[in-house]
Chain A
Amino acid sequence: MTGGVDLVGPWALAVLVALPLAGALVLLGRGLPARTATRVGVTISGLTLLLALAAAASAAPFAAYPGSRPGLELDLDWIPALGVHLHLGLDGISVPLVLLTALLTLLVCLHLVRVQPDAGRVGGLVACVLAVEGGALGTFLALDLVVFFVAFETVLVPMWFVIARWGDSGQRASTLAGSSRPGGEQARREAANRFVLFTVTGSALMLLGLLLVAMRSGTTDLVLLAQRGGQDLALGVQTVAACLLVAGLAVKAPMFPLHTWLPPAHTIAPTAGSVLLAGVLLKLGTYGLVRVVVPVVPQGLREIAPVLGAFGVAGVLWAGLACFVERDLKRLIALSSVAHMGFVLVGIASMTPEGLQGALFANVAHGLITGLLFLVVGAVKDRHHTAELALLDRNLRDRLPRLGWLLAFGALAGLGLPGLAGFWGELLAIAGAWRSDSAMGAISRPVAVLAAVGTAVAAAYLLRVLRRLWHGPGGAPAAPASLGGPGRFIGDATRHEVVVMMPLVAATVALGVLPAILLEVTGPAVRALLAGAP
């Protein structure tokens, strides 16, 4: 690859993190009206995206330590007493996620300009969205364990507010016979609390792991740690640290038996929150695995890779099957995230270049596709005031053609159709698992085959949605008249909504037909990451 264009200097990294956070503070401090607040949000997130693009251009060519330094690096003293540096860097692993985060935040802010949640002040929501962006960017840029952890936790608090304050209070699920899920205020609080409790527990475990690594190796600098590649850590320490780190990050990812916080959080959160949760928050966990666990404690990860891989593939199948009988559309999309992230975990557990490439690709693809699906489903839900599959009107392809086709596109992308972004990640994760005799041992091939079966399972549940919602007899709504009556008008996607969703569609197609865009960026970084591992 040719050298990068020096558009911006290392200072851009600090600005990338600080800009959204400052915007959030401004919006919090001033009780701006909704119009102004969303404009400010769009401006700031747009600037952030531009800056991220410029920084990415400047950071090229992408390689990763320990082979070489990150393309763009900022290293400042922060807490001299503890040897903690404010160490930020942009390399091939972080670039895709930084851009994804900036893009999704911009789209979410744009979306909020017209589509606003029922309750709560919009300004606060925009502030929370920007705060989430700042924290996520900090996490993706951090090259110091302490900075990483602090940024990782920063995301948590605004997200709690997003779910608890702007969550969907108009849940009608409880009205449906046989549904035991509570609705309204209680559901919001429960979902938010559940989210926080799960992720804080995970963070506590992760913190223990980080401390163990920091204490035993005497530094918190990720570049140093990766250069050592775990040489200075005994196998036992590595294994324990890997267990703690994986367990902590797997909650966020989420890994199969730890995933039950995700469906309620995604379902209750407003559309903006759902998109951010799927597109940004889940990535923190898998990014942490790639950024911290793989290079720092490679042998420890190797020890527990079979377990990680088995849980990953179990998540693929389990969530896929659970989706098949899920009755709430938004919840279904949320559960499908568990399946998609299962592929990412399988890829990471494989400890092969293919697997890691697949994991990074699937990360981005999932952010795009599930973000799109949440936007579509959110629009459908706003129009029907429910996401219960049985209550939604059918035959979207004729009634609301634009929304219908976007839904169909999202579903086809979600089931990993080759030619769209979802495919490459899954293929590479499976390929990595197949070759991962050294990490996953005897179960590598069964994991690969089961993961492949997971793609068919995904097709089954997504086609079920399409058959139920996109196809189907049109005309009179299938919902009882009490839910709005047959005479109500339900409009198709507005131009504004289409404009918000189109970048995601375009990116999904682009990454699907030209995977090189992403694979070339992450490839050298992945090889460098694994080079440190013996």
Chain B
Amino acid sequence: MIHLAGPALLVAVLAGAGVYGVLARRNAVLVLIGAELLLAAAGVLFVLGTALPAGGLGSPGLLDPTISARPADPLVSGQVATIMLITIAAAEIGLALAVVLLLFRARATSDLTAVRELGEASPSYTDHPDAVTGGSLP
């Protein structure tokens, strides 16, 4: 028996921190840390979902404590989802770190602000739009 407001607040804080981390960091690895926090927030939310009465956020039990008797969810959906989430996150970070490593080997940096080759304003971006649209209407 715990108060649900706590986990909710924790989710909010983790998500906010994750967003900040993703947006404010330059180092690719640190950006990934932010992403991990976002995923973690999602995981907490899933587990919180298991703790909710049947029907989730739409359940009448949320507002009326007398209907708090919760029929057991035989599939324990929230927790299973969290586990899967963690797995996916692990796969993701493995891949991401591989990319970061490759980037570092190619560019000798893991600073994301220094890698802009795919940007439209890059001097190496040669596909001029006029070549695509074929000029203007008369």
Binding site for B on A (CB under 8 A): 180-182, 186, 189-190, 193-194, 264
Q: How many angstroms from the CA of A190 to the CA of B135 in the assembled complex?
A: 9
Q: Does B134 contact A (CB under 8 A)?
A: yes
Q: How far is the CB of A165 from chain B (nearest CB, A)?
A: 16
Q: How many angstroms from the CA of A264 to the CA of B135 in the assembled complex?
A: 17
Q: How many angstroms from the CA of A182 to the CA of B137 in the assembled complex?
A: 10
Beyond A180-B138, A186-B134, 4 additional contacts (C-beta under 8 Å) are A181-B138, A182-B138, A186-B135, A264-B138
Q: How many angstroms from the CA of A181 to the CA of B137 in the assembled complex?
A: 11
Q: How far is the CB of B53 from chain A (nearest CB, A)?
A: 34
Chain B facing A: main interface SS: loop
Residues of A within 8 A of B137 (CB): 190, 193-194
A-B contact pairs, 11 of them (CB 8 A): A180-B138, A181-B138, A182-B138, A186-B134, A186-B135, A189-B134, A190-B137, A190-B138, A193-B137, A194-B137, A264-B138
Chain A facing B: main interface SS: helix
Binding site for A on B (CB under 8 A): 134-135, 137-138
Q: How far is the CB of B137 from chain A (nearest CB, A)?
A: 6
Q: How many angstroms from the CA of A264 to the CA of B134 in the assembled complex?
A: 18
Most chain A C-beta atoms within 10 Å of own C-beta, residue among B134, B135, B138: B138
Residues of B within 8 A of A189 (CB): 134
Q: How many angstroms from the CA of A194 to the CA of B138 in the assembled complex?
A: 9
Q: How many angstroms from the CA of A181 to the CA of B138 in the assembled complex?
A: 8
Residues of A within 8 A of B138 (CB): 180-182, 190, 264
Q: How many angstroms from the CA of A163 to the CA of B138 in the assembled complex?
A: 16
Residues of A within 8 A of B134 (CB): 186, 189
Residues of B within 8 A of A264 (CB): 138
Q: Closest A-chain residue to B134, C-beta based?
A: A189
Residues of B within 8 A of A181 (CB): 138
Q: How far is the CB of B35 from chain A (nearest CB, A)?
A: 39
Considering the complex of A and B, which 8 residue pairs feature the smallest CB-CB distances, nearest first? A190-B137, A190-B138, A194-B137, A182-B138, A189-B134, A193-B137, A181-B138, A186-B135
Q: How many angstroms from the CA of A186 to the CA of B137 in the assembled complex?
A: 9
Q: How far is the CB of B129 from chain A (nearest CB, A)?
A: 15
Residues of B within 8 A of A193 (CB): 137
Q: How many angstroms from the CA of A190 to the CA of B134 in the assembled complex?
A: 10
Q: How far is the CB of A426 from chain B (nearest CB, A)?
A: 32
Q: Closest A-chain residue to B136, C-beta based?
A: A190
Q: How far is the CB of B75 from chain A (nearest CB, A)?
A: 31
Q: Closest A-chain residue to B135, C-beta based?
A: A186
Residues of B within 8 A of A180 (CB): 138
Q: Closest B-chain residue to A264, C-beta based?
A: B138
Q: How many angstroms from the CA of A43 to the CA of B134 in the assembled complex?
A: 40
Residues of B within 8 A of A194 (CB): 137
